[in-house]
Structure 1
Amino acid sequence: MENGHGGVRQLRYLPAVGSVHGVEVIDFAALRRMDTQRRRVLPQRPDFHVLALIASGTGGHEADFHGYRLAEGSVVWIRPGMVHRWSDVDSCDGPLVLFRPGFLAGLGAAEAAAAACWRLDRQRLPLALLAAEHLGREHEATARDPRLGSPALLSHLLAALILRALPEAPARADAPPAGEGGAHVFRAYRAAVEERFTEWHHVAEYARALGYDVRTLTRATRAATGTGAKTFLDQRILLEAKRLLAHTDLPVTGCARRLGFRDAGNFSTFFRRQAGTPPAAWRAAYGTADAPGT
């Protein structure tokens, strides 16, 4: 683990002995045993996925400036780069699945667009827990005897767990049918945005690079997320801006440069338009670092 700016811990994936395939299964009791200093309640930024199911108990979790109450049936999906903290999981029980970003290839549009936290009903929760238990047993068998290990098997079991645990997406009358082609387009766009959002601020730049027109990207993104391609891109830039302002000591001019804005004025205008407040006011309200306002 490495310390980041402003007290945010940068968590690196360090697999336990026997977890050689990029996935492992623990539970909240193990998390508490490993974290006797309660560092879990402080902001942290992992470079891996954490998928957690709450089988029993209540608690709290915060992810990228949103607070969530946890109870039986809650599902938490922490993505790489997300700033989060377990604000209260002392009474929670259930599995946590840790896996590398590249372990589960080809995430679909629904998986990519899922929220950080949602709730499963009493019919679906036992099935999700059963899927997690199956994955956990295979992981334990691999740890005991690597000859029993199969990355393909673990990957399929993880994919089955995620599909079982995903929230039910409400049907939208205005949403065009995505189809597999639309899902593929959105996955490509989302990956390109994640790679280039600090350089490219216009959908047309992604359209040229990916070989689609802007309308195709907009349709695919709206079908997957309910918002257009431009809104999706702006929200990704805004999220990183909020993270930088709240969790680093970079001045506003430095945040602007980090995110590819030509000057602090353009950045401030963008931030105020998207967030409804100036960058300095956001930092004053949410900042965890002693940082200058300009």
Structure 2
Amino acid sequence: MDGKGARTRPQRPDFHVLALVASGRGSHIADFETYLLGEGDVVWIRPGMVHRWSDVDGVDGPLVLFRPGFLPDLGPTPAWDLSASATWHLAPQVQPLALLAADHLRGEHDLAVRVPHLASPALLSHLLAALVLRVLPGEAATPAVSGRRHREVFGRYQAAVEEHFMEWHQVADYTRVTGYDRRTLTRATCAATGVGAKEFLDQRIVLEAKRLLAHTDLPVSRCAQRLGFRDAANFTTFFQRGTGKPPSTWRTADARAARPS
């Protein structure tokens, strides 16, 4: 599928990339973090993430690509959380069950390709849901009841941030659309992520800035405009406060980690 080695170049897909490592060892870079891969690992790249398969020649396992909206609504899970890790490890007893679910999905998909009149999008969708539920981190299946209120508040805040972070840079902007005051948002965000509401918002803006700097050739001034800053100077100050480096320096140095050597 990849004779020219395109997978080693930075990608920013608008679809989900779900991979299970059945055997072998390698590494993968997602949103500028390097993840070592081994048997039993799951990789989930959500739409919009910048990633590249940096070292997977020795890795084998199922790879599933699917568009947003194809998977049935499973409620909030770590897989949808843009701040969650792109990789986690399955318990040994779960690994064969996950591969079995992937094999079932692949069998139905292959049949749909060979015999189109037998294709069933609904069946494929539910088989994908079964695979996802099998590979989710264990704590996602039985969340602590005591944190339900915080999860609800944070879920609304996170969704609002994802929709508006390119235009709204202050927590006060989100109190109106979520219906919660700043203190409530801060408590819930801290309980869910370990950082306050403002830091969570700033981290999301910085992440998008890194993605633009690494995956596009846009000048810093255009990146600033895309992210809702009045001018490049304000953006540079904000970015340097969050990363320790101005955007141009980060682009020529740290962003190389996302590019093939």
Task: Report the TM-score range of the alignment, normalised by the length of the smaller protein.
Answer: 0.7 to 0.9
Is residue 143 from structure 1 mapped to residue 149 from structure 2 by the alignment?
no
User: Match of 2:128, as an amino acid?
Assistant: L
Residue in structure 2 matched with residue 13 of structure 1 by the alignment:
none
- Could you tell me how far 1:107 is from its partner in structure 2? 4.2
Comparing 148-157 with 203-212, which one deviates more in the overlay?
148-157
- Could you tell me how far 1:285 is from its partner in structure 2? 0.5
Given the superposition, is the C-alpha separation of residues 188 and 101 from structure 1 closer, same or farther in structure 2, using an over 3 Å criterion? farther
Is residue 125 from structure 1 mapped to residue 92 from structure 2 by the alignment?
no
- Could you tell me how far 1:94 is from its partner in structure 2? 0.7
Is residue 189 from structure 1 mapped to residue 157 from structure 2 by the alignment?
yes
Deviations 1:53-75 (A, max 9, x none): 00001122111111122111121
- Could you tell me how far 1:129 is from its partner in structure 2? 1.3
- Could you tell me how far 1:268 is from its partner in structure 2? 1.8
Residue in structure 2 matched with residue 221 of structure 1 by the alignment:
189
Contact 1:57 1:92 in 2 (8 A): yes
Contact 1:54 1:73 in 2 (8 A): yes
Measure the CA separation in 2 of the matches of 1:270 and 1:90: 39
1:62 paired residue among 18, 29, 34: 29
Measure the CA separation in 2 of the matches of 1:48 and 1:55: 22
The equivalences for 1:86-235 within 5 A come to 86-104=53-71, 105-113=73-81, 114-169=84-139, 177-179=146-148, 182-235=150-203
Residue in structure 2 matched with residue 248 of structure 1 by the alignment:
216
2:242 paired residue among 256, 269, 274: 274
Comparing 96-105 with 233-242, which one deviates more in the overlay?
96-105
Given the superposition, is the C-alpha separation of residues 154 and 220 from structure 1 closer, same or farther in structure 2, using an over 3 Å criterion? farther
- Could you tell me how far 1:96 is from its partner in structure 2? 0.9
Measure the CA separation in 2 of the matches of 1:149 and 1:187: 35
Residue in structure 1 matched with residue 259 of structure 2 by the alignment:
none
Comparing 70-79 with 100-109, which one deviates more in the overlay?
100-109
- Could you tell me how far 1:234 is from its partner in structure 2? 1.1
Deviations 1:79-105 (A, max 9, x none): 111111111211211111111112223
Percent of aligned positions that are identical: 66
Given the superposition, is the C-alpha separation of residues 150 and 258 from structure 1 closer, same or farther in structure 2, using an over 3 Å criterion? same
Given the superposition, is the C-alpha separation of residues 262 and 176 from structure 1 closer, same or farther in structure 2, using an over 3 Å criterion? farther
- Whichever structure has more helix as a proportion of its residues is 2
Is residue 50 from structure 1 mapped to residue 17 from structure 2 by the alignment?
yes
Deviations 1:16-71 (A, max 9, x none): xxxxxxxxxxxxxxxxxx11111111111111001100000112211111112211
Given the superposition, is the C-alpha separation of residues 149 and 183 from structure 1 closer, same or farther in structure 2, using an over 3 Å criterion? farther
Measure the CA separation in 2 of the matches of 1:223 and 1:202: 20
| Structure 1 unmatched ranges of 5 or more | 1-33, 289-294
1:263 paired residue among 231, 241, 248: 231
Superposition RMSD on alpha carbons, in Å?
2.5
User: Match of 2:212, as an amino acid?
Assistant: L
Secondary structure of the residue that 1:178 maps to in structure 2? helix
Contact 1:73 1:122 in 2 (8 A): yes
Could you state the TM-score of these two structures normalised by the residue count of structure 1? 0.76
Measure the CA separation in 2 of the matches of 1:258 and 1:274: 18
Residue in structure 1 matched with residue 253 of structure 2 by the alignment:
285
Contact 1:108 1:183 in 2 (8 A): no
User: Match of 1:189, as an amino acid?
Assistant: Y
> Paired residues, what number?
250
Secondary structure of the residue that 1:56 maps to in structure 2? coil
| Structure 2 unmatched ranges of 5 or more | 257-261
User: Match of 2:22, as an amino acid?
Assistant: A
